């Protein structure tokens, strides 16, 4: 496996692969790879001839008080794990080359970015769509694989691809969880042993909400109130948001009449974690 750091080398290689008729797959990451990332690489490997894993902690998607400086970085470890999972190339550009001093172009998706994580992290998704658009231009992928844990991110990327006519198939792979249900996340390593145990409340509350819906509850406000009470019972928890939304528009749902996504962001201690659950509901039920 080869590591590429130059933007020009990455793009030249991708254009050459295209001329050779090879299918290219991209797995965008910020590094600190875990089993969730590796499942994306494996999924990508099944569909293409060349798998590129980008490892880039994107500065413009972090807010001023967020963890950009402390975000875990270990490129050697990431490259080893990525190769074992089936990657052919690591693309690890520098901040300076991705965003030179005179960089002024940004990509923004409206509406879908205004709620959920977008409401509490202003500018976050503009940073995400900008870097992903640039990665698409550099890597020239036929397929790009994202994880369902960042449900809103996947929805935003799909809309950007559709609206801007990127010739890229977006694949969204299922959430990978630990045995106890905790969603795999690079930020889990910030958690102490006690906090990790308390973080289980995210998935437990999602499954509880699902059970309420299966039992016939259709009022989103009542479901969210029950989830809030459950999460607030955990000592170190602080809710950022709990929302029940339409799977495509991400508009809040008041009365559940079809499929919904239950999404939440919760601080456990100082660590902000996200999770979600897609619940299939028969329209007539």
Q: Is the same domain home to 127 and 199?
A: no
Q: H or E stretch including 132?
A: helix 124-139
pLDDT averaged over every residue in the chain: 97
The pTM of the full predicted model, rounded to 2 decimals, is: 0.95
Q: Which residues contact 280 (CB under 8 A, 6 or more apart)?
A: 259
170-203 pLDDT, tens digit per residue, is 999 999 999 999 999 999 999 999 999 999 999 9
Rg (CA), the chain: 19
Q: How many domains does one find in the chain?
A: 2
Within-domain flag for 284: no
Q: Are residues 167 and 241 in the same domain?
A: no
- CA 233-238-242 angle, 5° bins: 90
Any domain includes 285:
no
Read off the pLDDT of residues 254-263 as tens digits, 9 standing for 90 and up. Answer: 999 999 999 9
User: pLDDT, tens digit, for every residue of 216-251?
Assistant: 999 999 999 999 999 999 999 999 999 999 999 999
Among the listed residues 34, 37, 246, 280, the single catalytic one is 37
Q: What backbone phi and psi angles, to 5 degrees, belong to 119?
A: -70, -35
Q: Is residue 117 part of a domain?
A: yes
Q: How far apart are CA 71 and CA 181, in angstroms?
A: 23
Q: Is 124 a catalytic residue?
A: no
């Amino acid at each position: 496996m080869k590591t590429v750091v130059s933007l020009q080398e990455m793009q030249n290689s991708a254009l050459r692969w295209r001329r050779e008729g090879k299918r290219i797959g991209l797995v965008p990451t910020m590094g600190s790879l875990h089993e969730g990332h590796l499942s994306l690489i494996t999924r990508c490997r099944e569909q293409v001839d060349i798998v590129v894993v980008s490892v880039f902690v994107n500065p413009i998607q972090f807010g001023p008080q967020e963890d950009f400086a402390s975000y875990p970085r270990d490129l050697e470890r990431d490259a080893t794990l990525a190769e074992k999972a089936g990657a052919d190339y690591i693309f690890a550009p520098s901040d300076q080359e991705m965003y030179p001093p005179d960089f002024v172009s940004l990509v923004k998706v409206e509406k879908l970015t205004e709620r959920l994580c977008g409401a509490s992290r202003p500018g976050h998704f503009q940073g995400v769509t900008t870097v992903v658009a640039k990665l698409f231009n550099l890597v020239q992928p036929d397929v790009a694989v994202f994880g369902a844990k960042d449900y809103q991110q996947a929805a935003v990327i799909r809309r950007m691809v559709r609206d801007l006519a990127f010739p890229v198939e977006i694949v969204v792979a299922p959430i990978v969880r630990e045995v106890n249900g905790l969603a795999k996340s690079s930020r889990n390593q910030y958690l102490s042993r006690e906090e990790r145990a308390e973080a289980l409340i995210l998935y437990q509350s999602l499954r509880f909400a699902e059970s309420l819906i299966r039992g016939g509850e259709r009022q989103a406000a009542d479901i969210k109130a029950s989830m809030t009470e459950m999460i607030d019972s955990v000592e170190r928890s602080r809710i950022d948001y709990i929302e029940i939304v339409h799977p495509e528009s991400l508009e809040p749902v008041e009365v559940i009449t079809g499929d919904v996504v239950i999404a939440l962001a919760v601080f456990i201690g100082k660590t902000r974690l996200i999770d979600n659950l897609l619940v299939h509901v028969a329209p007539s039920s």
